[in-house]
Amino acid sequence: MIPKSLATPLLALLCLALQTAAVSKKQWSKRSDHLYLPKKINDYKIATAPNNVTVRYKNPGICETTPGVESYSGYVDLAPNVHVFYWFFESRNNPAEDPFTLWLNGGPGSDSLIGLFEENGPCMIDDNLTAVYNPYSWNNVSNMLYISQPVGTGFSYQKQGVGSFNSWSEDFHYNSSEWPATGRWPLLDPLNTGTIDTTDLAAVATWHVFQALLATIPKFDAKLGALDSARDFNLFTESYGGHYGPAFFSYFYNQNLKIANGSMPGYPLKFNSLGIINGIIDEEVQADWYPEFAVNNTYGIKAYNDTVYSYAKFANNMFNGCRYQIDLCRAAAEGNVSYYHVDAKITEAELTPGELQVCNEAADMCRDNVESPYYFYGGRGVYDIRHPYEDPDPPSNYPGYLNQAEIQEALGVTLNYSGTNGIYYAFQNTGDFIFPNFRLDLEYLLDQDVRVSLAYGDADYICNWFGGQAISLAVNYTHTEEFGSAGYEAMVVDGTEYGEVRQYGNFSFARVYESGHEVPYYQPVAALAYFNRTLFHWDIATGEKQVTANLTSSGPANATHTNSFVPLTSSIIQEFPIPIYPTATAAASGY
């Protein structure tokens, strides 16, 4: 077997887990100094859903400090080996009537607590591990549910084990004489593999978790009022959430229809909106924009030279290149390598090992050759082109906060917290990254009565807005033409222009200025407005007009705003691993 290139694991570690940067090196080494095992916890309260799933909960009383605004955290025990962590925050406004929103980060394997603590939750964690009140928290306008999924992510676990993770492969090691144990960690079952390795499987699993929570949260949170078919439901997500969002929402949406017409038991809600922030929805459409963004972005930054640019472009378009291999995966999945249907989904369960390999190889080809030259030759931030590759922003203090005994007790967790888990590689092995399914799901949703709001920070490289704009224009649905001919209108909040947005009816694409990947971190005012306007059917540009079926943004055909150039203040030089040759004596005695 030819070993995989160096690029792939580096990406997984530093960037491609599209948000594993969550655990900073500083926190990591601080925690590996000693072995620390959280205490066992026995004081959960229990609520049982009608399907006999138990939900353990505590009322942590941390992070949200607004008097009278409660939160609940704990586990949904879906099966003897599936325990999914969640944290629910009441709305700061009117929990009994406000909408119900699920937030999911991407990865795959990035925890939704990244969003909670770095983006849109009630508190942010400062350098002294103090929780600081966030006035722009999204629970100002909605009840907020954060779920750590797929199981294995964050505090969610299949099993628990004392040992350590290999930070490159994310494999777990029990043998503490070879790999010093650093804590008690969440494990996958089977070890290092788990059973959820595609977005579509994650959607089904998270649906069950979600239903158990809908059944039980009103039991333990009296303030919430009835969660019934009158309550608005929204899903907001980011990054690999470009996969999760369309797939989860369309699966949930169809389950909801069955519940509503009585053909399935469960808790129906009013499916209102899907939000995707800097999402990777369809690599086939978005790949070509990596090299474009690297050299010709609105910041006037040319991150690499023409040699590297030509390489990345050629790698995308050449025979057997990224696009070709994506098509090959799609054709192989249909069992006809000379032909594929643009409107056919890939069902992973039906793929043979060979077909899985073709898709996995295509994803590697794209990531290694089209996307990642920037990481090695650009010197600039994965999630923010204005910053150096070793990006201090957003500060990742929250894992340190979560690894404190009193915080773990408050939340009801007995595990150490890490951004590392095997989920990323499990997904990589299936080729889920390049499946066409998510564009198709999005097209389906756009033809339903669902509001879809895309927002892309314009400094992010990894899911850049050029690619986001391209996918917004490429989706094929009833109003493709009307959407495409709507103009870019300034997105204004309290007199300040934060971006520009194209909108037709329920569908919008917003470019947010001066923002990296985690838009609510960089532009909290604009992000809250985007959220609020989406939820309550206001136009994204002004928040002054209620959305109608033919609401049309007006302005130029292109988003032409330019940003000021940001010089690179520091840079790192990537190095190849150094080979260690056997000593003369060992070589002589051995072979």
- Cβ–Cβ < 8 Å for 301, 384: no
The token duo for 42 is 């026995």
Q: What is the Cα–Cα distance from 365 to 423, expressed in whole angstroms?
A: 20
* Beta carbons within 10 angstroms of residue 458's beta carbon: 27
Shortest spacing between CB 108 and ligand NAG, in angstroms: 28
CA angle 280, 286, 287 (to 5 degrees): 110
Nearest-CB residue for ligand NAG? 543
Site membership for ligand NAG, residue 261 (CB under 6 A): yes
Q: What is the Cα–Cα distance from 332 to 347, expressed in whole angstroms?
A: 12
Is residue 460 annotated as a catalytic residue, yes or no?
A: yes
Among residues 65, 476, 496, 571, the one that binds ligand NAG under rule CB under 6 A:
476
Phi, psi values for residue 165, rounded to 5°:
-100, 145
- Hey, which residues between 13 and 52 contact ligand NAG (CB under 6 A)? 51-52
**Nearest residue (CB) to ligand NAG, 17 versus 141:** 141
CA angle 499, 504, 508 (to 5 degrees): 40
CB within 8 Å of 562: residues ≥ 6 apart? 298, 299, 300
- Hey, which residues between 47 and 86 contact ligand NAG (CB under 6 A)? 51-52, 66
Site membership for ligand NAG, residue 258 (CB under 6 A): yes
**Nearest residue (CB) to ligand NAG, 388 versus 414:** 388
- Hey, which residues between 315 and 344 contact ligand NAG (CB under 6 A)? 336, 338-339, 342
Is residue 561 annotated as a catalytic residue, yes or no?
A: no
Of the ranges 156-164, 170-178, 229-237, 394-402, which one interacts with ligand NAG (CB under 6 A)? Answer: 170-178
Site membership for ligand NAG, residue 177 (CB under 6 A): yes
Out of 71, 112, 137, 239, the active site residue is 239
Site membership for ligand NAG, residue 92 (CB under 6 A): yes
Shortest spacing between CB 389 and ligand NAG, in angstroms: 14
Element (H, E) at 445: helix 437-446
**Nearest residue (CB) to ligand NAG, 18 versus 124:** 124
Q: What is the Cα–Cα distance from 280 to 287, expressed in whole angstroms?
A: 9
Among residues 308, 315, 471, 541, the one that binds ligand NAG under rule CB under 6 A:
308
**Nearest residue (CB) to ligand NAG, 155 versus 172:** 172
Query: In which order are the strands placed within the sheet that holds 82-89?
Result: 45-48, 54-58, 71-79, 82-89, 143-147, 100-104, 232-239, 270-279, 451-457, 507-512, 496-504, 489-493
Among residues 71, 105, 140, 420, the one that binds ligand NAG under rule CB under 6 A:
140
**Nearest residue (CB) to ligand NAG, 196 versus 326:** 326
Q: How many helices (H) and strands (E) does the chain have?
A: 20, 17
Of the ranges 136-144, 190-198, 320-328, 508-516, which one interacts with ligand NAG (CB under 6 A)? Answer: 136-144
Interface with ligand NAG (CB under 6 A), residue total 40
Q: Nearest Cα to 370, choosing from 326, 330, 325, 322?
A: 322
Site membership for ligand NAG, residue 305 (CB under 6 A): yes
Q: Estimate the crossing angle of helix 199-220 against helix 437-446, to 10 degrees.
A: 50
The token duo for 374 is 């920037």
Site membership for ligand NAG, residue 310 (CB under 6 A): no
Shortest spacing between CB 340 and ligand NAG, in angstroms: 8
**Nearest residue (CB) to ligand NAG, 274 versus 312:** 312
Q: Helix (H, G, I), strand (E, B), or coil: what is residue 271? A: strand
Catalogue the long-range contacts made by 340-343 (C-beta closer than 8 Å, 24 or more residues apart): 342/436, 343/440
Out of 460, 472, 515, 539, the active site residue is 460
x-or-dash string of contact with ligand NAG, 360-379, rule CB under 6 A: -----------------x--
Shortest spacing between CB 413 and ligand NAG, in angstroms: 25
Among residues 160, 166, 448, 552, the one that binds ligand NAG under rule CB under 6 A:
552
Phi, psi values for residue 6, rounded to 5°:
-60, -30
x-or-dash string of contact with ligand NAG, 507-546, rule CB under 6 A: ---------------------x---xx--x-x----x---
CA dihedral 511, 367, 424, 178 (to 10 degrees): -130
CB within 8 Å of 225: residues ≥ 6 apart? 95, 96, 97, 218
Is residue 98 annotated as a catalytic residue, yes or no?
A: no
CA dihedral 49, 50, 52, 55 (to 10 degrees): 0
- Hey, which residues between 111 and 130 contact ligand NAG (CB under 6 A)? 126-128
456 alpha carbon, distance to own chain's centre: 13
Among residues 41, 62, 191, 257, the one that binds ligand NAG under rule CB under 6 A:
257
x-or-dash string of contact with ligand NAG, 392-431, rule CB under 6 A: ----------------------------------------
Out of 208, 243, 387, 517, the active site residue is 517
- Cβ–Cβ < 8 Å for 388, 516: no
Q: What is the Cα–Cα distance from 38 to 27, expressed in whole angstroms?
A: 17
Of the ranges 173-181, 196-204, 344-352, 444-452, which one interacts with ligand NAG (CB under 6 A)? Answer: 173-181
The token duo for 342 is 């643009």
Among residues 94, 175, 310, 562, the one that binds ligand NAG under rule CB under 6 A:
175
Shortest spacing between CB 143 and ligand NAG, in angstroms: 14
Q: Helix (H, G, I), strand (E, B), or coil: what is residue 238? A: strand
Among residues 550, 562, 571, 574, the one that binds ligand NAG under rule CB under 6 A:
550
Q: What is the Cα–Cα distance from 398 to 113, expressed in whole angstroms?
A: 8
- Cβ–Cβ < 8 Å for 163, 434: no
Q: What is the Cα–Cα distance from 288 to 436, expressed in whole angstroms?
A: 16
Site membership for ligand NAG, residue 296 (CB under 6 A): yes
Q: Nearest Cα to 5, choosing from 372, 327, 316?
A: 372
Q: What is the Cα–Cα distance from 471 to 464, expressed in whole angstroms?
A: 11
**Nearest residue (CB) to ligand NAG, 43 versus 52:** 52
**Nearest residue (CB) to ligand NAG, 140 versus 428:** 140
**Interface with ligand NAG (CB under 6 A):** 51-52, 66, 92, 126-128, 135-136, 140-141, 175, 177-178, 254, 257-258, 261, 263, 296, 305, 307-308, 336, 338-339, 342, 377, 473, 476, 528, 532-533, 536, 538, 543, 550, 552, 557-558
Active site residues: 239, 460, 517
